[in-house]
Amino acid sequence: MKNKINYIQGDATEPVGPGLKIIIHICNDIGAWGAGFVLALSKKWAEPEAQYKALEKRTLGDVHFIRVDENTIVANMIAQEGIGPDSEGRPPIRYTALKKALYQVDYYAWHEHNASIHMPRIGCGLAGGSWELVEELIQDTVECPVTVYDL
């Protein structure tokens, strides 16, 4: 069953629609925060960065949920190994870790909070991923409503 993804023009840090909204994005496993979508997050809320940097260990596939206001939660998904291509030239995105994280986010959003998921095109900037592969993962793992924001 493929989940329909809603694509809109806008800022993923300003999610639209009713109810609780979960903004998801990909973080690396080495504690580096300071480029890409996280800059927009940090400009709006301090807590996602602070909690990410406070982690003693960042394990691929893990998700950390941070409530930033009454109707918004940010999900830091650890799905990027390092910050650049590995020794074989592979981009840092790890699709297996992303799939594991998406399952966790979907359960948290859909089954525990009746929330919707909002995101930029995760994994396709600094993480070097393919949107076609990321989109397929989302469609195959996520049941709740998903909105993707293109600036």
The Cα–Cα gap between 24 and 6 comes to 15
* Domain architecture of the chain: domains with CATH: 6-150 (3.40.220.10)
Write the CB contacts of 82 (distance below 8 Å, at least 6 apart in sequence): 28, 29, 30, 92
Overall pTM surpassing 0.85 (yes/no): yes
Q: pLDDT truncated to tens, each residue of the chain (151 aa)?
A: 577 899 999 999 999 999 999 999 999 999 999 899 999 999 999 999 999 999 999 999 999 999 999 999 999 999 999 999 989 999 999 999 999 999 999 999 999 999 999 999 999 988 999 999 999 999 999 999 999 999 9
